[in-house]
């Protein structure tokens, strides 16, 4: 009897947020109204017509390419996308693919040619350097493929945590964490989806992963990026058009 009681209490303790006995055993913080806010954001994103939907990284690679080439193209698109609008990244990736975008073609390309192809992505000169360095590492260490862990991905030149988590999502179909960019960071703070204000996307990622159910981790980036591009803008957010205006802590101040 003692063993079965113990087993029951463990099941309740780890069950995600349901069951009469769960709350006292797992006093987990979660934001007020977050489920309703999330549902309303889903409603606002239902048409899937934001730039991220039409020209985001998940649309930039050749789906008919061999899996290894596809994964490499995903990583390159992510590297190009940093501090660059989706439209510009998409156009640069299209030009690269017209040159035959593989590890070997990039290694054979001189820096000037690569720079001309990816211009005008943000910080294109640095990205030429990072792309060449990373591609050489992929060829030497990974047989032309990309690493399959966040820990290895962030070791590559020019690859940060957000890119690594998105690479895991898109290239490997694996959810290792939440991909947090400036949109997710900004909106999470406006909605107070963090216990206290966070200073950067990486702090926001850690804060969100503490409470957000894991089955939402993959969806949340796509959802909030598009919402941030269309409604919850960095400057002059369109609160009057937002379904969350009555339950958003920031809407009252903006």
Which of the following is catalytic: 85, 132, 139, 162?
A: 162
Tell me the backbone φ, ψ of residue 231, rounded to 5 degrees.
Answer: -125, -60
Convert the pLDDT of each residue in 159-196 to its tens digit: 999 999 999 999 999 999 999 999 999 999 999 999 99
Annotation says 195 is catalytic: no
pLDDT > 70? residue 24? no
Instruction: List the domains of the chain with CATH numbers.
Output: 34-47+177-253 (1.10.1670.10), 62-172 (1.10.340.30)
| Token couple for 89 | 């990244």
> What's the pLDDT band for 18 if we cut at 50, 70, 90?
very low
- Alpha carbon distance 33, 30 (integer Å): 9
- Alpha carbon distance 131, 238 (integer Å): 37
Answer yes or no: are the C-beta atoms of 194 and 206 closer than 8 Å: no
Pick the closest to residue 211 from 12, 41, 27, 20 (CA basis): 27
DSSP string, the chain: -HHHHHHHHHHHHHSSS-STTHHHH------TTHHHHHHHHHHHTTT--SHHHHHSGGGTS-TTS-HHHHHHHHHHHHHHHTTS-HHHHHHHHHHHHHT--SHHHHHHS-HHHHHHHHTTSTTHHHHHHHHHHHHHHHHHHSTTS--SSHHHHTTSTT--HHHHHHHHHHTT---SS----HHHHHHHHHTT-SSS--SSHHHHHHHHHTTS-GGGHHHHHHHHHHHHHHTS-SSS--GGG-TTTTT-TTTTT-
> What's the pLDDT band for 55 if we cut at 50, 70, 90?
very high
- Alpha carbon distance 12, 15 (integer Å): 5
Answer yes or no: are the C-beta atoms of 176 and 149 closer than 8 Å: yes
| Token couple for 39 | 């549902």
Count of CB atoms situated within 10 Å of the CB of 4: 8
Convert the pLDDT of each residue in 214-240 to its tens digit: 999 999 999 999 999 999 999 999 999
């Amino acid at each position: 009897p003692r063993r079965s009681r113990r087993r029951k209490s463990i099941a309740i303790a780890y069950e995600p947020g349901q069951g009469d006995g769960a709350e006292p055993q797992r006093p987990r913080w979660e934001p007020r109204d977050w489920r309703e806010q999330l549902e309303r954001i889903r409603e606002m994103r239902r048409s899937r017509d934001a730039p991220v939907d039409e020209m985001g990284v998940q649309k930039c690679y050749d789906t008919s390419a061999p899996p290894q080439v596809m994964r490499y193209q995903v990583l390159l698109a992510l590297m190009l996308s940093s501090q660059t609008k989706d439209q510009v990244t998409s156009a640069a990736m299209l030009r690269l693919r017209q040159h035959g975008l593989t590890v070997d073609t990039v290694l054979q390309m001189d820096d000037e040619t690569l720079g001309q192809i990816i211009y005008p992505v943000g910080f294109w000169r640095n990205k030429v350097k990072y792309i060449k360095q990373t591609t050489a590492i992929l060829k030497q260490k990974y047989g032309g493929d990309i690493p399959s862990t966040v820990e290895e991905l962030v070791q590559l030149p020019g690859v940060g945590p957000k890119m690594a988590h998105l690479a895991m999502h898109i290239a490997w179909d694996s959810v290792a964490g939440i991909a947090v960019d400036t949109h997710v960071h900004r909106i999470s703070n406006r909605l107070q989806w963090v216990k206290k204000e966070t200073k950067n996307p990486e702090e926001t990622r850690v804060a969100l992963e503490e409470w957000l159910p894991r089955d939402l981790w993959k969806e949340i980036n796509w959802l909030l990026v598009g919402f941030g591009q269309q409604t919850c803008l960095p400057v002059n957010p369109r609160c009057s058009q937002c379904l969350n205006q009555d339950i958003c802590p920031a809407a009252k101040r903006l």
